[in-house]
Amino acid sequence: MAKVLVVTSGKGGVGKTTSTAALGAALAQTGQTVVVVDFDVGLRNLDIVMGAERRVVFDMINVIQGEARLTQALIRDKRIETLSILPASQTRDKDALTSEGVAQIIAELREKFEWVICDSPAGIERGATLAMHHADVAVIVTNPEVSSVRDSDRIIGLLDSKTEMAKRGERIEKHLLLTRYDAARAARGDMLKTEDVLEILSIPLLGIIPESAEVLRASNLGTPVVLSNPDAAPARAYVDAARRLMGQHVAMVVPGEKKSFMTKLFGRRVA
């Protein structure tokens, strides 16, 4: 039975696309079939983060408007056989993303894949509400920072009222993915702790992704971080999160990055 998962946050820049790419790759590495779907019409970025930007021919809007078949728009990942990407349109008007069109595409993707991961745009407009509409599971990406937590709370409210599951009277499964976490700053009391965020949002924790230079390196390369440097702290944290999504019990570790001698010596970096 296919699972439709939405990666959402409300606030922009917290790591939705990075997390979509990493979770998608981590799930696909286990041999499950995965498609990652970009819902950010006009500002697509999942293609570039996944390193598929030069292979985009058709996009979701082309499929919705009948200009291309779904199979023609899907791009097969070159590194993982079971991973595909469905890009958003970069040029079309957002209004071309229709509710019926999205419903049709999600239904078709459910037939073809075990995981359909929808990368939501920031905000609470049409793209974001359509990305979450058909979801069975939601991953709420949050930074330990007031504006991100507030927006996540708003998104949780929408997930509980506006999605198809909510309208059927069912409760959508929600998970918190805490990104850009800095254990040292949290310990010093200068960053919200995991427990603080969990207490405020009261949804279960899927994983803690540490702030790390590896994440930017991965997007520079167009390779999900779980593939670019599998031993790095964020890569391990994403792999663990993916295993939890598959229902496995994996102990939660608060990841601390291995620090170089110089970083240890001078501790505080100029942010």
Partner 1 sequence: MSFLNFFSRKPTATVARDRLQILLAHERASLGSNTDLIAVLQEEILAVIGRHVTVDRDKVQVKVDRGASFSTLEIGVEIPPAAVEKQAALDRTALRAS
Among 12, 13, 31, 157, binds partner 1 (CB under 8 A): 157
Q: Return the range that interacts with partner 1 (CB under 8 A); candidates 153-161, 162-170, 210-218, 239-247.
A: 153-161
Question: Does residue 186 touch partner 1 according to CB under 8 A?
Answer: yes
Question: Half-sphere exposure (CA, 13 Å, Cβ side) for 194?
Answer: 20
CB 186 → partner 1: shortest distance, Å?
Answer: 7
d(CA 9, CA 61): 23
Question: Does residue 150 touch partner 1 according to CB under 8 A?
Answer: yes
Question: Does residue 196 touch partner 1 according to CB under 8 A?
Answer: yes
Pairing of strands 34-38, 115-119: parallel
Q: Are 148 and 176 in contact (CB under 8 A)?
A: no
Question: Does residue 188 touch partner 1 according to CB under 8 A?
Answer: yes
Site size toward partner 1, by CB under 8 A = 17
Q: Return the range that interacts with partner 1 (CB under 8 A); candidates 16-24, 43-51, 59-67, 188-196.
A: 188-196
Question: Does residue 159 touch partner 1 according to CB under 8 A?
Answer: no
Could you tell me if residue 267 is left (phi over 0), alpha (psi between -120 and 50 degrees) or otherwise beta?
left
Q: Where on the chain is the footprint of partner 1 (CB under 8 A)? A: 145-146, 149-150, 153-154, 157, 186, 188-193, 196, 199-200
